[in-house]
Amino acid sequence: MKTDARIYVAGHEGMVGSAICRRLLQKGYRSVITAPRKALDLLDFISCREFFERERPEYVFLAAARVGGILANSTRPADFILDNLKIQTNVIELAFRSGVRKLMFLGSSCIYPRMAAQPIRESSLLAGPLEPTNEPYAVAKIAGIKLCQALRKQYGFNAISIMPTNLYGPGDNFSLDHGHVLPGLMRRFHEAKLEGLCEVEVWGTGEPRREFLHVDDLADCAHFLMMHYSDAEIVNAGVGMDLTIAEAAEMVKEIVGLQAELRFCESKPDGTPRKRLNVDKLAALGWKSKIALREGLATTYAWFLEHQADLRT
Ligand code: GFB
């Protein structure tokens, strides 16, 4: 991928897409193509076809998706499966038909079976039942992987798929209800600090374990794999360590400077008990994460403070 290559980043308004754009610009790429949601509806095949015909990208990072945390996934399952199936099918098919040289599809660690052996290897895909709280989203992402593999097998289309663990960082959704755990807690703890509350809610038992990757690390990894990997098999992207939600909550509490007690609210779902990725394959290819969780959370909190006036709710 030369620095004058025409590179389309689908989903550049989201946390992942914006991080990939930042990384590409830092690396000196001069022809990064983006289209705001208002100008291009990725759910609509005809608009997408016009866009690909007009822009003729050579490389595509497919980071556009309907995403959300455990509650959004479990309360809006139809939106999650429908929107993701449509977006990814439109973009992947049109990238193939318009002669894109290489496409990267971004999946998620929730594609793996709920009780997959830990840390989870790429070979665990489709080896058992999925976690019910995000099954529709996971099924859509698995369909995306299989579409990439099928196009490669039948037509030689160079599509690769990367499975990131739980992501966080600047540009995240800090909604109290719809987003993921770290931005949700960061905002709830921040507001509790301002209100001087002595007790704050954390969903679930606090016992599930999660692995967190900073989105700037993911963007660096995505660029690395676009440069150095061209195979059908999926590749995990993670940090190789996890912690309990209770431990993560304590870390966020410390960074925010909240004094209150944490109360675990067991009426909210825990989700999958554990999903740490095995990152041996990525390490063998020559990439490893650089941003430690505490450091990443501190810079994310600084970003939140700076941008809180115009955040999604
Ligand atoms: O981040 P999260 O929503 O996603 O939740 P998943 C992780 C864990 O944090 C769960 C707990 O055990 C939650 O119960 N938790 C505690 C909270 N407090 C909060 C809070 O204030 N907000 C949130 N959101 N959680 C998602 C999938 O699963 O993982 C998606 O639903 C996606 O499909 C993503 O794959 C990576 O890790 O459980």
Over pLDDT 90: what percentage of the chain? 98
State the pLDDT at residue 310: 81
CATH for the 6-171+212-240+275-291 domain, from 3.40.50.720, 3.30.360.10, 3.40.50.150, 3.40.50.620: 3.40.50.720
- Reported as a single tens digit per residue, the pLDDT across 110-148 is 999 999 999 999 999 999 999 999 999 999 999 999 999
- Arithmetic mean of pLDDT, 3-9: 97
In the reported structure, the alpha carbon of residue 70 is separated from the centroid of ligand 1 by a whole-number distance in angstroms of: 4
Q: Tokens at residue 82, please?
A: 């429908």
Ligand 1 and 268: CB distance under 6 A: yes
pTM check: above 0.85: yes
CB 90 within 8 A of CB 48: yes
Q: Tokens at residue 218, please?
A: 């993911």
In the reported structure, the alpha carbon of residue 197 is separated from the centroid of ligand 1 by a whole-number distance in angstroms of: 23
Q: Tokens at residue 7, please?
A: 């590179």
Whether 155 is a known active-site residue: answer no
* Cis bond upstream, residue 119 (ω within 30): yes
- Reported as a single tens digit per residue, the pLDDT across 197-218 is 999 999 999 999 999 999 999 9
Query: Which of 96, 111, 162 lies closest to 141, judged by CA?
Result: 111
Q: Tokens at residue 27, please?
A: 């690396």
State the pLDDT at residue 312: 65
What number of residues does the chain have? 313
Atom 7 (ligand 1): residue with closest C-alpha? Answer: 181
Alpha-carbon 210 to chain mean position: 14
Pick the range with the lowest mean pLDDT from 70-74, 225-229, 272-276, 307-311.
307-311
Residue in 180, 202, 207 to alter for ligand 1 test, most ligand atoms within 8 A of Cβ: 180
Ligand 1 and 77: CB distance under 6 A: no
Strand 31-33 and strand 6-10: the pairing is parallel
Residue 303 has pLDDT above 90, yes or no: yes
Please name the residues in contact with 153: beta carbons below 8 A apart, sequence gap of 6 or more: 232
Ligand 1 and 6: CB distance under 6 A: no
Percent helix, strand, coil in the chain, to 5, is 45, 15, 40
Domain ranges of the chain: 6-171+212-240+275-291
Atom 31 (ligand 1): residue with closest C-alpha? Answer: 70
Atom 15 (ligand 1): residue with closest C-alpha? Answer: 203
* 32 backbone dihedrals φ, ψ, rounded to 5°: -85, 125
Residue 232 DSSP label: S
State the pLDDT at residue 311: 78
Ligand 1 and 12: CB distance under 6 A: no
In the reported structure, the alpha carbon of residue 166 is separated from the centroid of ligand 1 by a whole-number distance in angstroms of: 9
Residue 309 has pLDDT above 90, yes or no: no
Ligand 1 and 181: CB distance under 6 A: yes
Ligand 1 and 84: CB distance under 6 A: no
Q: Residue 147 is inside which H or E element, if any?
A: helix 135-155
Residue 169: left (phi > 0), alpha (psi -120 to 50), or beta? left
* 243 backbone dihedrals φ, ψ, rounded to 5°: -150, 165
Ligand 1 and 180: CB distance under 6 A: yes
Averaged pLDDT of the chain: 97
Residue 255 has pLDDT above 80, yes or no: yes
Residue in 80, 141, 172, 203 to alter for ligand 1 test, most ligand atoms within 8 A of Cβ: 203
Ligand 1 and 108: CB distance under 6 A: yes
- Arithmetic mean of pLDDT, 45-64: 98
Pick the range with the lowest mean pLDDT from 196-200, 224-228, 306-310.
306-310
Q: Which residue reads 């990384």 in tokens?
A: 23
Residue 232 has pLDDT above 70, yes or no: yes
Residue 313 has pLDDT above 90, yes or no: no
Q: Tokens at residue 230, please?
A: 């061209």
CB 207 within 8 A of CB 143: no
Annotated catalytic residue: which of 29, 112, 137, 301? 137
Neighbours of 25 (CB within 10 A): 11
- Arithmetic mean of pLDDT, 69-75: 95
